[in-house]
Amino acid sequence: MRKTLFVIFLACAASIHAAESTEIRQLSKKAYTQEIQKNAVVVFDVSWGRKWGCGEFENAELMQIEFDRLPIIKNDSEKSDLVIEGPSRLFRTPNFLNYGFILPPEEYALSGVNIKVARSVSDVGRFITKRSDLIKDGKPEGGSFTVAAGEIVYIGNFFLDCQTGPILWRYYSAGKEGFEKQMGEYKRKYPFIDLERAKFRLFKSKYFGTDYNLPE
């Protein structure tokens, strides 16, 4: 599963967007008020900071994460339902950034990962994991998360792990205190949502994170 394709190419402009063919939207007061009864909210963090000394590389950076709603019938050339891309190089920091989306209730599979790697200033490339690497016979081999109508779900914090080379890794806020602290961050960014009923339900993966349940 950790098999990746190493490709050298120029970095493209960064943004956060959802594919036009879906109902997925960035979280807003209007969308939340009008759609929370039939849709769900997912919140998570991503760090786009540079990771130094990552495996055999001088540094690595997470550039893009993609998710598709199951069942998936797309090929590798088609845009994923949800694409999260990092900010421009000028605005990248080591901090985790808060994200929120409103989306139809369903199971969503990891369908793409893009990591920039560098051995030196002049030797730069990408590790790209495609939909066909992560979805096997329609099953989310790379991992997935599930949301139901009316739910607000925290799925974790995404960054890199370098123990065996640069790969995506799903971290999390541990314990009730850590979870409540992170919910406070989302509340400041999205004051219109009812985070008191937020659920701790991590993105689950055999390859890109370890299982963890919030203590009762």
Summarised one tens digit per residue, pLDDT across range 21-72 is 348 999 999 999 999 999 999 999 999 999 999 999 999 999 999 999 999 9
Within-domain flag for 210: no
Instruction: Tell me which of 2-16, 110-124, 147-161, 181-195 is least confident.
Output: 2-16
Does residue 175 register a pLDDT over 90?
A: yes
- Does residue 96 form part of some domain? yes
Query: What residues make up the domain containing 165?
Result: 5-200
Determine, yes or no, domain membership for 173. Answer: yes
Q: Does residue 207 lie within any of the structural domains? A: no
Contact 124, 118 (CB under 8 A): yes
Assess if residue 213 is contained within a domain: no
The domain tally of the chain equals 1
Predicted local distance difference test score (pLDDT) of residue 164:
86
Query: Does residue 169 lie in a domain region?
Result: yes
Tokens coding 139? 């099953």
pTM of this prediction? Answer: 0.87
Classify residue 205: in a domain, yes or no.
no
List CB contacts of 200: < 8 A, sequence separation 6 or more: 154, 179, 213, 214
pLDDT for residue 14 is more than 60: no
User: Across the chain, what does the average pLDDT equal?
Assistant: 89
In a domain, 216, yes or no: no
Angle (CA) 74 76 78, round 5° = 60
pLDDT of residue 89: 76
| pLDDT digits 0-9 by tens, 110-155 | 999 999 999 999 999 999 999 999 999 999 999 999 999 999 999 9
Q: How far apart are CA 34 and CA 42, in angstroms?
A: 16
